Amino acid sequence: MDKLRIIGGTPLRGEITISGAKNAALPILCAVLLTSEPVILRNVPALNDVKTTIRVLEQLGVKSLWLSEDAIQLQADEVISYEAPYELVKTMRASILVLGPLLARFGQAKVSLPGGCAIGQRPVDQHIKGLAALSADINVEHGFVVAQAERLIGASIRTDMVTVGGTEQFLMSAALAKGTTVLENAAREPEVVDLAELLIAMGAKISGHGTDRIVIEGVDKLHGADYTVVADRIEAGTFLCAVGAAGGEIVLRKAAPQTMGATLDKLIEAGLTIETGEDWIRASMHKRPRAVNIRTHEHPGFATDMQAQMMALNAIATGTGVIVENIFENRYMHVPELIRLGADISLDGHTAVVNGVERLSGAKVMATDLRASASLVIAALAAQGETIIDRIYHLDRGYARMEEKLKAVGANIERISGASA
């Protein structure tokens, strides 16, 4: 099992190119099932979750051809199966997103209940409720969601809570439904907007994406498209936290600062100097950060996927930062590991109180989920001495070659591969 070895204390200087957003790429990959024509996707990140999704699509009969290291052509003109099996779905919950497209285009789908990070329950009941509203006959049987429909029929769907995956599921399903679908309480995340833009490029009629009310006029069929996935705002935010912790000056290229409002606001509050252009961000830090208070919320609030990284920054800040996690109930698994590095953090339910310390010291730690692993990298870059981070397969699920990108801006970081680890 691979590990990372990091020796902290080196400021970061240079440029980093941001990859395409994992959380946009996964639903966009599933959307290729909605047409028999070829779809070319660009800026696709080289991540394990992406590879798993492509394997799920290939099992269904989708043809795939990599055109370059980040561009792929997919065509679902000879779909042979309508079932996404447990073996693939168990590693990644986004596989549930093949359900709607299969149902909308072929009238049937059977998808295993999903896996993924161990942060909370993440129920799929909202997906089931919404598809039932679109006139699907849908049940859970033996660990599978089994659905049938002659043709989905437009309806008004109002979910009990804001759900990103649910909104994406209904966008894809309603694109081919008969009549008009209105999504109330819709997620407003940039990745939802990106999926809607791809569907529009394929011929869908969608308005209101980016607001909490999305209207979809169903069409009879969709066509192929050539589409570039939006930049990963969480990867960009993670590197900004890294320079905030380690000090120095970096420029992020191919970024999307317009999707990062809440994160950039908090980083500026923490003391970073930040400049932005249309597709770049320059950030510098030459002092100890200031502690900031954070409450995670759905977009445009502060992203839960940035909570762990900001906690790492708070760990070495002056003052005390209070963090409230409002999205997931089990998202503080990084706290014991940060404490091993010398952080002063106390937990009370959904609230973490972080008393900044002057310096962290290297130790052996373990990644517990995707963003938790990123927080350990940030803390290690600021710590004195050597840190070994185990179980970094979590990191590889969401960050493309993170250690190479950090090494290129001066970090003392290396991957120790399985055999020698």
- Please state, in angstroms and rounded to a whole number, the distance separating the CA atoms of residues 103 and 172: 10
Among the listed residues 193, 190, 189, 210, the one whose alpha carbon sits nearest the alpha carbon of residue 201: 193
* DSSP letter assigned to residue 418: T
User: Quick check: is 117 catalytic?
Assistant: yes
Among the listed residues 326, 324, 319, the one whose alpha carbon sits nearest the alpha carbon of residue 288: 319
Neighbours of 284 (CB within 10 A): 18
Among the listed residues 6, 2, 4, the one whose alpha carbon sits nearest the alpha carbon of residue 245: 6
Which residue has tokens 């310096």? Answer: 359
- Please state, in angstroms and rounded to a whole number, the distance separating the CA atoms of residues 76 and 65: 12
Active-site annotation holder among 117, 152, 264, 379: 117
Burial 215-242 (b: 16+ CB within 10 A, else e): bbebbeebebbebbbbbbbbbbbbbbbb
Which token pair is 356? 């900044």
- Please state, in angstroms and rounded to a whole number, the distance separating the CA atoms of residues 201 and 132: 27
Residues recognised as catalytic? 117
